[in-house]
Structures are given as C-alpha cells and as structure tokens.
Amino acid sequence: MRGALGAALFAMWGLLATVPDVNAAEAGRCTLAQIANSYKEGLLRLSANDHARALISFAPLADAGLGPAQRQVANMYATGQGVAKSPLDAALWSELAFRSGDENSRRHATQYRAELDAAGRGALDQRLGVWRAGGLVCDGARIRLDPKAAEAPLEFGIEFQARVSDDDQATARRILPGIVQSAFDQDPMARIYLSVIETFEFHTGGQYHRYIGWAPKKPGMLRIATNVSMDDSPQYAAKAVLLEAKRKVYESLPDSPFIDLYMRVMGGMKVYGSVYPDVNNGTYFRLMRQAFDMVEKIPPEVKKYVEIVDEIQYGPISKHYKPEGTIDAQGAYYNKVLSEPGHRIIFARRDMLYSSPLYLLQTLVHEGTHAAQDQKSYDIRVEIAKLQRQPGNEQKIAQLMDYPVRWLQGIEGPGGKRVQDMAFECEATQSEIIAIKAVGGSPDVMDASGYIKLCPEQQKLIVKWRDEIGKPAKGGKK
C-alpha cells in the first residue's frame, strides 16, 4: 500500500491547500464517530455472545489497522469463537494490534507467538512482512472495506491562525504533503488514524516550540506549528501528527489504552515528551515525577496554580533543527495564544540533563500562576461581555477592563510603547518563593531568578526568609 500511494497521494493537494475553511469530509470517508460506534457495536455483540455479528463489526476495522479491533479478532481466533480456531491467525492479529499501539495486546502478542512452533513462527513473520492495511468506506452506520479506498488520496482542509504570515502560509502548503506522506511511510496502519484529521490549522511556533495538538472545541482540527519547516526532515512532525491521531482514536474506544512512549499523566496533567530522537525523555519524565511529589507538599493557595495547568510540553534544542530554528535552551513559559479554559499549556525548553526536580517545581508554580492569571483575564472578559448587553455599566466595565488589558497588552512604557506589566511576574515569583520554602529549599535558589531584582515586595520576602533561617545573602554578614 505504501509504495502505491507515492506522488498520487496528493494529486489534488495543490488546489485544496490554497483554500481556507475547506470541508474535508469526502464521500464515504469514515469519521471518528463512525469508527468508534462500529467498534462499540462489536463489543455489544460480543457481550451478547453473538460472535458472528461481532466479527462483522471488528473485521473491517482490523483490516484497516485499528489496534483494538485487531486485538478482538486475535482473541476470537485464539478461542475459536465466531471463527475457526487458529493459533497462527491469533498470533498475527495480536502482533499487528501491538504494533498499532494497543497496550492490551502486549502480553498476548508474546504469548501467541511463543505457542507456535518454528514453522509457525516463520509463517507468522512472512505474513507480517507482506501485510498491508485496507481502506474503509462508510455509508451511514455501515463500514466496509474497499480496495480503492486504500489507494485514494486523503484530503485535508487547511487553515491558518491570524498571526501566520503569507510567507509561512506558502511554506505550510508546501511542507504538509511531505509530512503526511512521511507518516504513511512510518506506519502501514497510518491511514485509519490520519483519516480522523479533517483540518490542519497552522499557528506560529515562534522560536520556542513545535506544538502539534488538537484544537479544543473544534473536532477534527489538528494544530501544527509553522516552524516544523525548520527541521532537517519531515519525519519528526509526521511522527507527532500520527501520535496525536492515534491518541485521539484510542481515547474514543472503550478499554483501549494506547502504548504512548511520549506522554505520562501526572497529577491529572498530561506531560508530553519530545519526538526528536536526540532528546532524553526518560530523564525528563523522571524529574517531572519527582517534581509532582514535591507539589503535594506545597500550600493549597499555591498548589491550585499547578492544578489549573492541563499539559506541559517538553521541547529542548534538537540537532535536527535547521540553524535558523535553534531556540533558547533556558527556561519555560506559559503560552497565551494556544491556551484557553480547559486547555492551559506550559512549554519547557531547558534540557533536563542540566536541570532538577526543584527547577521543574518552580516552572510548574511560576507558569501555572500565569495560567491562573490568564483564566482570570478570561473570566473578566466574559463578565464584561455580559455587562455590555445592558446600558449604564460603562464605569464598571472600564474598571474591569484594566486587568485583561494589562495582561494581554501590557502597560504604557517610555515613548508610549506598551511593555510587559511586571506585576504578573512578581506574583508568579512570589508563588515560587512560597513553594520552595514549603518543600525545604533554600532562598539561594531564587538567586537565579531574573525577576527578584524587579520585584521589591518579593525581595523583602527573601530577606525575611533568610532572617528566619539565619542565612544571609551571599557576601553578607550573619
């Protein structure tokens, strides 16, 4: 299948990519809801011991590459329910399910292979080597395999956030076909997962991240940073796109955990690693886990700032960035542009090989404070919108407007130019001080902060803290 796709995969792309807001739903193309509903129908039939009809639901999905459906077919072959018992077929479908990312197939893939003799294992490897996913066609609730669908080009809408320049739009149109083709090249089961993406929405990644993730409240829309064009190969963006598609599909299916090497859930927060092979995710996840252990020790008035964050993305420098894509290796930041209620994002860009759990605790608390500030700004703007519907609220609206204006636009600086309002950074710095003190850290930790010198009240807190423990500042006297 992969070889046949080739250039034909994007034969229609030139026309499609020039038109924003394209409706990408092709006739017969299966939606995520249709795929999920067919799988759930199979589970219902299975629970009713109607194995023959369960197979009717599972088989097309399995042939198309859906891991959980492949697991169900494997188990049916292993037990002889609905089909003739076949250890070889059970091993085949279980191995395919495991390769597709189905966590529940991990043990059986090993078990079923081990139960085969040498000749059986040889036959298994031969069949795995030539196996190719089929294509699905949907007509209402009915899903069927169609050989032509496996070779037809996948079409996608393409949209751009307002800040994306004309040049970056042109670049996005140029690189996206290669990214999708690379995803097909990486995984013979890619089609069923990529098909749930209806639209790619490009945003400005700036210098500091290559974020790829689903747009909240916009089903089928996957956001992708324009600066993935700064990679030396499209394969890394392709890997991230395919990962996000698989995560979305697996989350939609009952009892179907996904083997996700690049994401952990800690304290209710999704913690994402980097897909770039030269980035050490293991160290990152280990230090982050230790940081979350520290979070349990901080006071509720500060812990709430961590709890408001929904995900943290790890994106240190990779050797696979082109020179113009090299980023600042220090620090972390809260992203206002991509964040919204229920989807608050922190980006960490310091290489964890040169970091510590305490630094990550500071990051979570400081940037989480910004997430809370962003939420407050949002809530005020919602309140203002309600007041604007009624006359006589002008004075109250003017008073309320101060906070979101300072948060989003800054304050007036020299020459009338708007600059960052340091009050927000000072508040976040104070949260750091409280957290570090609560976990038994030293006030010396705050020496590396670039904000202490700009925040008089927070300086006083540090002095008071030093007095409490009898530890003067460096160069000072006790």
Q: What are the tens digits of pLDDT across the range 338-360?
A: 999 999 999 998 888 888 999 99
Mean pLDDT value across residues 109-135: 96
Strands 136-139 vs 345-348: parallel, antiparallel or unpaired: unpaired
DSSP state of 202: E
What's the confidence (pLDDT) of residue 321? 87
Query: What integer pLDDT is reported at residue 2 of this predicted model?
Result: 29
Name the amino acid, one letter, at 79: T
**Tens-digit pLDDT profile for residues 195-232:** 999 999 999 986 668 999 999 989 899 999 999 999 99
Contact present, 249 and 191 (Cβ < 8 Å)? no
User: Encoding tokens for residue 55?
Assistant: 């197979």
Under 8 Å between Cβ of 237 and 260: no
Above 60 in pLDDT, residue 12? no
The percent of residues in the chain predicted with pLDDT above 70, rounded, is 91
* Per-residue pLDDT reduced to its tens digit, 170-188: 999 999 999 999 999 999 9
**Residue % of the chain over a pLDDT of 90:** 79
Q: Indicate the pLDDT class of residue 416, thresholds 50, 70 and 90.
A: confident
Model pLDDT, residue 142: 85
Q: How many CB atoms lie within 10 A of CB 319?
A: 10
* Predicted confidence band of residue 413 (pLDDT cuts 50, 70, 90): confident
* pLDDT recorded at residue 354: 80
User: In the predicted model, what is the mean pLDDT of residues 267-288?
Assistant: 96
pLDDT at 440 over 80: yes
Residue 247 has pLDDT above 60, yes or no: yes
At how many degrees (to 10) do helices 235-251 and 32-47 cross? Answer: 40
Place of tokens 């919204």: 340
Angle at 411 between CA 406 and CA 417, to 5 degrees: 140
**357-377 residue pLDDT tens:** 999 999 999 999 999 999 999
Residue 328, pLDDT score: 62
Strands 221-225 and 212-214: antiparallel
Range with lowest mean pLDDT among 27-31, 103-107, 226-230: 27-31
Over residues 127-143, the pLDDT tens digits come to: 999 999 999 999 877 89
Q: What integer is the mean pLDDT of 452-467? A: 94
Question: How buried is residue 388: exposed, middle or buried, by Cβ count under 10 Å (0-12/13-18/19+)?
Answer: exposed
* 331 pLDDT higher than 90: no
**Is the model's pLDDT at 23 over the cut of 60?**
no
Q: Give tens-digit pLDDT for 34-72.
A: 999 999 999 999 999 999 999 999 999 999 999 999 999
Residue 380 has pLDDT above 70, yes or no: yes
CB-CB contact of 198 with 156 (8 Å): yes
For the chain, what is the radius of gyration of the CA atoms?
Answer: 26
- Quote the CA–CA distance of 93 and 131 in Å, as a whole number: 10
Q: For residue 185, what are the CA distances in angstroms to 5, 178, 251, 403?
A: 10, 10, 24, 50
Mean pLDDT, the chain, rounded, equals 90
